[in-house]
Structure 1
Amino acid sequence: MRPLLSHVDLRVRDRAAAAEFYDAFLNLLGAVKSVGEEFTSYSIPDTETGADDPDADWFGFCEDPAMTPGSGRVCFRAPTRGTIDAIATILPAIGARNIEMPHEAYGAGYYACFFEDPDGNKLELVVIG
């Protein structure tokens, strides 16, 4: 079964404070933290091998001192590029705003569409590979 969510990407005012908060309980869920230059993320390693799974869902955040609540993004995993293309065509009719049409967003193999729901929550559809 393909998971519905791909990732949740938040903005926080203080990255170190956020890491301390999330470390306190995500470690208890078995999440492994990865710290990059500008981004902190958590994921669950493969239960059989213990290795990182590049297709695994993840949760993460980066620092934005001017952030406001709701400035993060929820990403839904799509089964195919065609699915993303089809959904993108109906987004205006269902009230989506600030639509960034489907494209290779973060390099080859990362095909995504970005948009906001009618309340301004940031959403993404992605297929990787």
Structure 2
Amino acid sequence: MNPFSHIDLRVTDLEKALPFYERFLPELGFTQTFHSKNWKVFAAEGNLPSVAYFAVTEDSSHKSNGNLIGFWAKDRDEVDRLAQLIKEIGGRITSGPQQFPISPTYYAVYFEDPCGNQYEIVHRLN
């Protein structure tokens, strides 16, 4: 069983960040939306609450930090494709995409959303 349930993410400016997440999260399989006034919820296919979801809300006092959220990619081409999308929609690539010395097959891109939250997309065989 996958123990992942959800992520509740804070951004300093929802108006600035929402277009990024509206383009990025569906590419990762978060294709359903359940938005309310204060929360923008992107869920995987299936029925809540039993599917993974990613919720975004505004907190003007939020400070990005060293936390990092990682996502799997099916292959290196997907890492490269998503890295290009991230640049196009206002994200900032901080490293990669490239092979990293974590393992012989660790290929990843590290990036930030428009509010400085940190992410990684990785393809790894072992």
Q: Which has the higher strand share?
A: 1
TM-score by length of 2: 0.45
TM-score, scaled to structure 1: 0.45
